[in-house]
Each structure stands twice: as C-alpha cells, then as structure tokens.
Homo-oligomer: A and B are copies of this chain.
Amino acid sequence: MRISKLSERAGLPVGTVKFYLRSGLLHPGLATSATQALYDETHLARLRLIRAMLGVGRLSLAEIQRILDAIDLPVGDPEVRTSLVRAAIAGPDETPFDAHAEDAEVLSEMGWHISPDSPHLRTLMRALEAARSVGLSIDRSRLKTYAEAAAHVARSDQAELDSLPDAERPQALAASLVLLDPILSALRRLAGEHVATVNQGRVPGPRVSNA
C-alpha cells in the first residue's frame, strides 16, 4: 500500500509516518521510484505498536526506539532475544539503589527464580523507595499481597506468549510488558472505587453494578 493508505489505516497523519521513517522508528518501504514506496502489514503493525506505546504506554520516542531496536536484533536464540527486550524495557539506570533485606526476603519466599542483576529488580527497589519517601507504608505483608497478584497475572501472560510462534514473541513480549500496565492500573483504580464505596457503607456489600 502507499503511504497515504498506511497512514489512514494506522490513524496517523502522513507527516507523522514520514517522521517515523526518517527517524528510523519505522523500517523503509519497498521503493518503487525516487519518491514513492510500498508498505505492508509489518509497517502497519509497527505503527500501531509505536502509537500505543507513545499514548497509553506513556513512553518517550527514545524509549520506544530502544525497545524496537531490541525487538529487531538479529539474534537466533529466543531466550537471549527475550532477555534483551526485557533489558530494553527496564532501560539504562546507573543510580545505585538500597535494597531492603526484608523486600528481598519477600521475593525469595515467593520462590521466584530471579537473577540478582535483573533490571526489573532495580526498578522495583527504586519504586519502593519513591513510594516510601512520600509516607506510604509498604511492609512485608503488603508487598507479599502485591507479589501474589503479580504472579497471578504473569502466569496468564506467559501462557499467551507460549502460544505464539518464536518469531512473534519478542514483539508480543514488549507489547504485553508495556501495554498491560495501564490496564492493570485502571482495574486497580476501579476496584479501589468499589472497595471504598463498600467501606463507606453506602452499599450493603458487593453487588452487581449497572456499569
């Protein structure tokens, strides 16, 4: 398809598509003349991913570039590919963090097999530090509640990833790591609204809503 059709199907202005082509976020089309090229479903899929990560995923173009680069790396070993995607999503971070021994213990009690230099461990410790700096008390039992909820979700996500062919997995992994967060966040806020309403005694207890 021509760039006009591509931009229409992706729901983006032609100028934006051209910018993504120039900046390397979108791979070139098949040139048919000095000024024209043809694009296919891979271009459309890539544009939808960029759009979702930029919008709902709240990532910057630089972060998206880093993640797309990792997805596109010509690495044969699927395990290495997924670990590169994970590292790209966690991002570079040189700031040292203070791991509370108690936090590490909770993860250990969960029986999780985690590399001590996992980039997500660093992200977790920094997020815990920030939440505690504003007075949120996240003790052992609360962290365990969160970890259980996370494990419940991760098992379901992995089952979905396992059902895909090897070639599609890095992109699906990136999409699920970035784009399920806003879904879980909105669900937690909705659940919070429900729990708060029940606690205020306005409704006698859980009931079927009209929403």
A42 at the interface (CB under 8 A from B): no
Task: Give the shortest distance, in Å, between A193 (CB) and chain B (any CB).
Answer: 6
Q: Please indicate the chain B residues that have their CB under 8 angstroms from the CB of A114 in the complex.
A: 190, 193-194, 209, 211
The answer to whether B190 touches A121 (Cβ under 8 A) is yes
Interface SS majority for chain A: helix
Q: How far is the CA of A112 from the CA of B104 in the complex (A)?
A: 34
Q: A196 to B170, alpha carbons, bound, how many Å? A: 13
- A145-B136 in contact given A107-B211, A189-B90, A190-B114 (Cβ < 8 Å): no
Q: A126-B56, A154-B195, A192-B158 are in contact. Are A113 and B181 (CB under 8 A)?
A: no
The listed residue with most B CB atoms (<10 A of its CB), out of A51, A118, A172, A194, is A194
Q: Does A208 contact B (CB under 8 A)?
A: yes
**So how many copies of this chain end up in the complex?**
2
* A188, B151: Cα distance in complex, Å: 6
Asked if A210 CB lies within 8 Å of chain B CBs, one says yes
Contact present for B134 and A206 (CB under 8 Å) = no
Q: Is A184 an interface residue (CB 8 A)?
A: yes
Q: List 22 A-B contacts (CB under 8 A).
A: A45-B134, A48-B133, A56-B126, A57-B130, A86-B189, A89-B189, A108-B208, A113-B194, A113-B198, A118-B193, A120-B189, A127-B183, A130-B179, A142-B156, A142-B160, A146-B180, A149-B149, A150-B188, A154-B195, A155-B191, A158-B192, A181-B181
The 5 closest A-B pairs by CB, nearest first: A154-B191, A124-B186, A150-B187, A111-B206, A127-B182
